[in-house]
Copies of this chain bind each other. A is one copy, B any other.
Amino acid sequence: MNKKIKIGLLGSGTVGTGVIKVLLENVHEITQKIGREVAITKVLVRDLNKKRKIPSTCTIIDDFEEIINDDSIDIVVEVMGGENPAKEYMLRALEAGKHVVTANKDVVAKYGKLMFEAAEKHKVDFMFEASVGGGIPIITPLKQCLTANKILEVMGIVNGTTNYMLTKMTNEKLDYHTVLTEAQAKGYAESDPIADVGGLDAARKIAILSSIAFNTRVHLDDVYVEGITAITPEDIEYARELGYVIKLLAIAKDVPAYGIDVRVHPALVPNTHPLASVNDVFNAIFVKGNAVGETMFYGRGAGEGPTASAVVADIIDISRNIVHKTSGKISCTCFEDKMICPVEKSISAYYVRLLVKDEPGVLATIAGAFGNNQVSLNSVIQKRRVNGCAEIVLITHEVAQEHLAKASAIIKNLKDVTEIRNIIRVEAQRK
């Protein structure tokens, strides 16, 4: 057998520890699959004094120069997180002719182009399966298995924290704050949860997925983002009565007239849709192609083992390339330059919950205001009394966001309307 393939690991937190474990535990199979041994020789950390379970064959270091200047290292695996210095380290590694694997959605979403170009220039591989969907294979399926298709739509539950919270709110009828506190206590949500609950984490992931799916660069700023903070137990209960669950969806569609419609927001999903039964910390990504129709990829979106599964798969892929001298084959696939669809033009159905005066004719006035703005109603579904007012829930037909926005601005100011309590999109309805 030939000389070992050597890895420099940047970070040994949750994911780094998982990578070390998986490479050790499955060493027999992995070596067979590659045809050569793979070994982590150096591990970069911030704090040399922390106690860690790292095999004695790895040297623990706190200076990246010891990795970049080590010619024996073939692959740099970045699992330290954050934009800086992760981005700089990866770029330097690529420029030094080292292959790079990362789980870092922040960097891939923001600096993917830079990375791909560097990889291409230096004829090395840059892989990032773990950056979206944790252990779920989704990057390779999009880059390789669904290539025969024009992709029409990618839609997924890609943030485990918010999915856990919404599942708990749904099953236990708890409110947002109670559930957040509990998720933080359990370690499912960070002390500063804003990237998760505000939708930024999902936005990064859909930027990555849609760039690959639609062969065009989708920037983080292109993604319209709404988080889950405004979702109440009442909305969840109304949705349930109507046959829906509320999920935080990341959506990207190729809209012929306007370009890529890409957004993250909570949405009512019909119970019968496969995404509706994706609960807790599970993730799932639904992909629709013009040949294959509907497909879905489901699994654990985070955690030590699942994320390491994806990172190590990339390591194996790269290693096979090293063994067969086939590195640097598929990198950036963004050969198109598509427009981004303005959110105003994006089409959805909507759930609208209103508090109105409980008087005859109010409903007709509201329906009229919607109608005057090209919003047609699918159903007016619930009505209960709240503080002397009537609560109404409407579901609209599909409509451009600009019309819904205009209608609701007018309705809000009607004298019979006390309050628009919530507006949530309704997605994933089968046509």
Q: Which residues of A contact B (CB under 8 A)?
A: 18, 22, 25-26, 29-30, 32-33, 129, 135-137, 140-141, 144-150, 215, 274, 277, 289-300, 303, 305-306, 308-313, 315-317, 320, 324, 326, 329-330, 333, 335-336
Contacts and interface: CB of A to CB of B under 8 A. Distances in A.
B309 A26 contact: no
Determine which residue in A140, A147, A316 has the highest number of CB atoms from chain B within 10 A of its CB, and name it. Answer: A147
Given A25-B290, A329-B324, A148 B312 contact: yes
Nearest to A35: B335
Contact of A145 (B25, B29, B137): B137
Nearest to A129: B145
24 contacts: A22-B149, A25-B291, A26-B290, A26-B291, A29-B150, A29-B215, A30-B147, A33-B215, A33-B333, A136-B295, A140-B141, A144-B144, A148-B308, A148-B310, A274-B298, A289-B309, A291-B308, A291-B309, A292-B305, A292-B310, A293-B306, A296-B299, A297-B297, A297-B298
A294 B290 contact: no
B295 A148 contact: no
Which 3 residue pairs of A and B lie closest in terms of their CB atoms, listed nearest first?
A: A137-B145, A148-B312, A295-B299
A294 B298 CA distance: 8
B140 A145 contact: yes
Contacts of A26: 148-150, 290-291
A419 B60 CA distance: 69
A137 to B, nearest CB: 3
Contact of A146 (B294, B309, B335): B309
Nearest to A133: B295
A299 B292 contact: yes
A215 B33 CA distance: 9
A22 B326 contact: no
Given A291-B18, A309-B289, A145 B141 contact: yes
Contacts of A149: 22, 26, 309
Contacts of A316: 144, 147-148
Contacts of A295: 135-137, 297-300
Contacts of A148: 22, 26, 30, 308-313, 315-316
Contacts of A336: 32
A36 to B, nearest CB: 13
Contacts of A136: 295
Contacts of A290: 25-26, 305
Contact of A141 (B141, B150, B292, B320): B141
